[in-house]
């Protein structure tokens, strides 16, 4: 690549007085003076959360209102700061989820440890744990900052199932071609 | 009503006038602090302080909300905070001087007000200025007293007994002394012009305004138009004298923490702050009187003509208020300029400040003085 030496021009007299530069600067700031503010006035106005945002991890239910988590504990194992603690337990034989082997008896996420990495959401085979839109957590004690199972479901709610994994599986079984 | 006032003993009259002036100028200085925050916010695309509100004001439908958004209650909250918060005096300071410094800052700032005329009314076609003391030394008094303000900065820097305030104090003294020369030299052409040889000389600021009160020709032109270079030098020196950006060497936050007031807190700090804005107001007032025609509404349109149009010649009270309004409007515009420049131009380096002061501004001021002296000599020959 050719090197093109460019001569640095000496400053003109007007430039050396520094005043035209100040005036052009003043013009710029005056323009900004009359521009609308760009501040988001936080508690009243909330930022728009983009899809894929990693907020507080939550547990979600399937469209039929059933628990999705099967207590496989993969999220517990993958969690880098060891924020998740699951106590698995057997499910009652006669319930709506009788076909599932187990479910979490207790599911705690310590939000003081959570680093919002999203590995739990990524690793979950049942798509039961999601990092959703909530971005601010506050509490007055360490206990308060641990989200228990009820709180996790309360925060998560029901998410629309994107590909109806179980519905499709059931339909295939009914059509006689279970895998 | 007027007779009652003018029949009072002179001391009571002066006290009442002085109190009235302080009651106007002190809130103006504190309003400036809020204006500063709002101007900086708007220039940076922020709304600025706009949350604070007192409960009873929240019930006023539109005005309460508007004042809240303008941050007027924030001003009151700030004032209250400065009054009631703990006043820390660090253990390593030289206590008497440390406490004396903010007082010394306030006294010159408030004293200069006395010789600054801020309005006028007509009595039988003659302009009667509104001021506390119509003395012949006028501008000289302003310069003499306001330069005492440097002692506050030096005292604060030295009494704080730590290195950043000390450096700030040293810088302040060097800078203020340097720029005072250009400041004084820049206004001399004005007084050469208004003091014709052979007549009684005067440095009175009222006289300067009277010279800008003509209706045609040279008489009505504000000195800003006839002496633009003087006005420019005066303005730049004023920025330096009031420690405003880009000359705020004494307290450059980036390299000196807070400069001379690093060790100060609470009300003592607030006094420095208010004194700084008072100096700005007085500086702007002097600039207005010298170069912007004082209380005359427009160039070639003196107050007397305006009074003639509005038939206010016989109403000294209304005319006085109008003239004060015009004067304060001009000051407000200049204060806005101060703030506008502050939030536009970055701070000079210290050696640049010294170079501008001694190598550029001072020779320019001297050349300006010589040129105008020759010009005036030729014109009045």
- Tens-digit pLDDT profile for residues B317-355: 777 888 888 888 999 999 999 989 888 888 888 888 888
Q: Alpha-carbon distance B185 to B193, whole Å?
A: 14
Partner-chain contact A39 B47, CB within 8 Å: yes
Residue A124 has pLDDT above 70, yes or no: yes
Q: Alpha-carbon distance B286 to B117, whole Å?
A: 9
B172 contacts B153 by C-beta, under 8 angstroms:
yes
Interface test with A, best of B71, B246, B345 (most A CBs within 10 A): B345
E strand spans, chain A: 57-59, 84-90, 102-110, 129-131, 146-147
Q: Which two tokens stand for residue B203?
A: 């440095």
Long-range Cβ contact pairs of B70-79 (< 8 A, separation 24 or more): B70/B38, B71/B34, B71/B37, B71/B38, B72/B34, B74/B34, B74/B37, B74/B49, B74/B50, B75/B30, B75/B31, B75/B33, B75/B34, B76/B52, B77/B52, B78/B33, B79/B30, B79/B270
User: What is the model's pLDDT at position A135?
Assistant: 87
User: Where does the pLDDT of residue A77 fall: very low under 50, low under 70, confident under 90, or very high at 90 and above?
Assistant: very high
Chain A residues in contact with chain B using a Cβ-Cβ cutoff of 8 Å:
22, 25-26, 28-30, 32-33, 35-39, 41
Residue A94 has pLDDT above 80, yes or no: no
Domains for chain A: give ranges and CATH numbers. Answer: 57-163 (3.30.70.3270)
Which pTM does this prediction carry?
A: 0.81
A-chain residues within 8 Å CB-CB of B47? 37, 39, 41
Count CB neighbours of B372 within 10 A: 20
Q: In chain B, which residue's Cα lies nearest the Cα of A31?
A: B43
User: What is the model's pLDDT at position B124?
Assistant: 66
By DSSP bridging, strand A146-147 and strand B126-130 are: unpaired
How far, in Å, are A12, B186, B209 from residue B262 at the CA level?
Answer: 40, 33, 41
Going by C-alpha positions, the residue among A127, A88, A83 that lies closest to residue A106 is: A88
Q: Alpha-carbon distance B83 to B76, whole Å?
A: 11
User: What is the model's pLDDT at position A45?
Assistant: 86
Report the Cα–Cα distance between both ends of chain B, in Å, rounded. Answer: 49
Q: Which two tokens stand for residue B25?
A: 């100028």
**Per-residue pLDDT tens for B47-60?**
888 888 888 877 87
Residue B218 has pLDDT above 80, yes or no: no
User: What is the model's pLDDT at position B313?
Assistant: 64
A67 contacts B74 by C-beta, under 8 angstroms:
no
Report yes or no: B359 at the A interface, CB cutoff 8 Å: no
B-chain residues within 8 Å CB-CB of A35? 45
Partner-chain contact B47 A29, CB within 8 Å: no
User: Where does the pLDDT of residue A78 fall: very low under 50, low under 70, confident under 90, or very high at 90 and above?
Assistant: very high
Calculate how close chain B gets to A18, using CA atoms only, in Å. Answer: 11
Report angle CA B269, B273, B276 to the nearest 5 degrees. 140
Partner-chain contact B47 A41, CB within 8 Å: yes
Highest mean pLDDT among B163-177, B204-218, B242-256: B163-177
Domain spans in chain B, listed from the N-terminal domain onward: 91-379
User: What is the model's pLDDT at position A40?
Assistant: 87
Selecting from A22, A25, A38 the residue whose C-beta is nearest the C-beta of B45 gives: A38
E strand spans, B107-263: 119-123, 126-130
Residue B311 has pLDDT above 80, yes or no: no
How is B241-293 classified by DSSP, letter by letter? Answer: HTT-TTS-GGG-HHHHTTGGGTT--HHHHHHHHHHHHHHHHHHHHHHHHHHS-
User: What is the model's pLDDT at position A115?
Assistant: 92
Q: Alpha-carbon distance B284 to B294, whole Å?
A: 11
**Per-residue pLDDT tens for A140-179?**
999 999 999 888 888 888 887 777 777 777 788 888 776 6
List for chain B the helix, strand, coil content (%; round to 5).
Answer: 70, 5, 25
Contacts of B68 (CB under 8 A, 6+ apart): B50, B51, B52, B53, B57, B58
Task: Determine which of A129-133, B146-150, B258-262 has the lowest per-residue pLDDT on average.
Answer: B258-262
User: Where does the pLDDT of residue B95 fall: very low under 50, low under 70, confident under 90, or very high at 90 and above?
Assistant: confident
Selecting from B39, B47, B345 the residue whose C-beta is nearest the C-beta of A22 gives: B345
Q: In chain B, which residue's Cα lies nearest the Cα of A28?
A: B344
Q: In chain B, which residue's Cα lies nearest the Cα of A21?
A: B345
Strands across the sheet containing A102-110: A84-90, A102-110, A146-147
Cβ contacts from A onto B, under 8 A: 35
Helices (H), chain A: 13-17, 19-34, 74-78, 119-123, 149-156, 165-174
How far, in Å, are A131, B148, B171 from residue B243 at the CA level?
Answer: 52, 14, 11
Q: Alpha-carbon distance A150 to A57, whole Å?
A: 13
Interface test with B, best of A21, A33, A34, A44 (most B CBs within 10 A): A33
Task: Determine which of A55-59, A84-88, B42-46, B67-71 has the lowest per-residue pLDDT on average.
Answer: B67-71
E strand spans, B175-255: none
- In the stretch 163-222 of chain B, residues with CB closer than 8 A to chain A read none
Per residue, the 3-state secondary structure of B46-77, as one string, reads CCCCCCCCCHHHHCCCHHHHHHHHHCHHHHHH
User: What is the model's pLDDT at position B349?
Assistant: 83
- Which H or E element spans position B348? none
Helix axis angle for B10-43 and B266-291, nearest 10°, is 100
The number of residues making up chain B comes to 381
**Per-residue pLDDT tens for B125-177?**
677 777 777 777 778 888 888 888 888 888 888 888 888 888 888 888 888 88
**Per-residue pLDDT tens for A10-39?**
888 888 888 888 899 999 999 988 888 888
B296 contacts B290 by C-beta, under 8 angstroms:
no
By DSSP bridging, strand B126-130 and strand B119-123 are: antiparallel
Q: Alpha-carbon distance B302 to B298, whole Å?
A: 7
Residue B1 has pLDDT above 70, yes or no: no
Calculate how close chain A gets to B92, using CA atoms only, in Å. Answer: 39
Beta bridge pairs of residue B123? B126
User: What is the model's pLDDT at position B62?
Assistant: 81
Per residue, the 3-state secondary structure of B67-120, as one string, reads HHHHCHHHHHHHHHHHHHCCCCCCCCCCHHHHHHHHHHHHHHHHHHHHHCCCEE
Query: By percentage, how much of chain B surpasses pLDDT 70?
Result: 94
By DSSP bridging, strand A129-131 and strand A146-147 are: unpaired
Contacts of A156 (CB under 8 A, 6+ apart): A58, A59, A60, A61, A130, A132
User: What is the model's pLDDT at position A27?
Assistant: 92
Query: By percentage, how much of chain B surpasses pLDDT 90?
Result: 2
User: What is the model's pLDDT at position B109?
Assistant: 84
pLDDT (average), residues B268-278 = 85
Task: Determine which of A75-79, B145-149, B207-211 has the lowest per-residue pLDDT on average.
Answer: B207-211
Highest mean pLDDT among A46-60, B115-129, B165-179: A46-60
A-chain residues within 8 Å CB-CB of B42? 32-33, 37
Phi-psi map region of A127: left, alpha, beta (phi>0 left; psi -120 to 50 alpha): left
B156 contacts B171 by C-beta, under 8 angstroms:
no
- Which H or E element spans position B192? helix B163-194
Q: Which two tokens stand for residue B69?
A: 């958004």
Selecting from B39, B45, B344 the residue whose C-beta is nearest the C-beta of A26 gives: B344
Selecting from A22, A30, A37 the residue whose C-beta is nearest the C-beta of B46 gives: A37
Average pLDDT over chain A, rounded to an integer: 85
User: What is the model's pLDDT at position B48?
Assistant: 84
Q: What is the Cα Rg of chain A in Å?
A: 28
């Amino acid at each position: 690549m050719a090197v093109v030496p460019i001569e640095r021009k000496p400053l003109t007299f007007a430039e050396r007085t520094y005043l035209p530069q100040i005036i052009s600067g003043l013009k710029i700031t005056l323009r900004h003076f009359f521009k609308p503010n760009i501040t988001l006035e936080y508690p009243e106005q909330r930022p728009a959360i983009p899809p894929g945002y990693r907020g507080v991890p939550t547990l979600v239910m399937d469209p039929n209102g059933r628990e999705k988590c099967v207590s496989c504990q993969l999220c517990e194992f993958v969690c880098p700061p060891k924020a998740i603690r699951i106590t698995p337990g057997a499910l009652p034989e006669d319930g709506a989820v009788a076909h599932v082997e187990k479910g979490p008896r207790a599911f705690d996420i310590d939000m003081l440890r959570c680093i919002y990495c999203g590995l739990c959401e990524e690793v979950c085979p049942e798509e039961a744990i999601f990092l959703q839109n909530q971005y601010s957590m506050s509490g007055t004690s360490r206990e308060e900052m641990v989200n228990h199972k009820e709180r996790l479901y309360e925060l998560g709610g029901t998410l629309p199932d994107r590909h109806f994994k179980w519905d499709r599986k059931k339909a295939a079984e009914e059509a006689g071609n279970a895998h | 009503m007027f007779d009652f006032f003018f029949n009072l003993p002179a001391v009571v009259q002066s006290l009442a006038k002085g109190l009235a002036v302080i009651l106007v100028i002190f809130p103006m200085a504190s309003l400036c602090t809020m204006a500063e925050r709002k101007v900086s916010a708007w220039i940076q695309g922020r709304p600025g302080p706009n949350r604070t509100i007192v409960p009873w004001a929240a019930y006023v439908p539109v005005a309460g909300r508007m004042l809240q958004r303008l941050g007027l209650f924030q001003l009151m909250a700030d004032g209250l905070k400065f009054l009631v918060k703990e006043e820390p005096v660090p253990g390593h300071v030289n206590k008497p001087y440390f406490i004396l410094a903010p007082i010394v800052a306030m006294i010159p700032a408030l004293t200069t007000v006395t010789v600054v005329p801020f309005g006028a009314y007509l009595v039988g076609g003659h302009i009667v200025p509104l001021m506390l003391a119509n003395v012949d030394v006028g501008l000289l008094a302003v310069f003499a007293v306001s330069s005492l303000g440097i002692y506050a900065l030096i005292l604060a820097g030295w009494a704080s007994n730590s290195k950043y305030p000390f450096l700030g104090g040293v810088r302040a003294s060097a800078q203020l002394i340097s720029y005072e020369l250009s400041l004084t030299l820049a206004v001399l052409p004005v007084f050469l012009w208004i003091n014709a040889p052979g007549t009684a000389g005067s440095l009175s600021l009222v006289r300067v305004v009277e010279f800008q009160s003509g209706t045609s020709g040279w008489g009505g032109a504000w000195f800003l138009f006839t002496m633009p270079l003087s006005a420019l030098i005066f303005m730049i020196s004023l920025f330096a004298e009031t420690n405003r950006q880009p000359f705020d060497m004494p307290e450059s936050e980036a390299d000196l923490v807070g400069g001379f007031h690093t060790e100060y807190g609470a009300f003592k700090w607030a006094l420095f702050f208010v004194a700084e804005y008072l100096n700005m107001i007085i500086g702007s007032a002097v600039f207005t009187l010298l170069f912007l025609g004082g209380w005359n509404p427009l160039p070639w349109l003196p107050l007397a003509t305006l009074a003639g149009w509005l038939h206010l010649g016989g109403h000294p009270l209304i005319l006085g208020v109008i003239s004060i309004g015009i004067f304060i409007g001009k000051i407000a515009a200049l204060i806005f300029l101060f703030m506008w420049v502050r939030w536009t131009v970055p701070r000079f380096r210290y050696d640049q400040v010294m170079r501008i002061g001694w190598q550029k501004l001072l020779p320019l001021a001297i050349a300006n003085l010589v040129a105008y002296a020759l010009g005036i000599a030729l014109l009045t020959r």
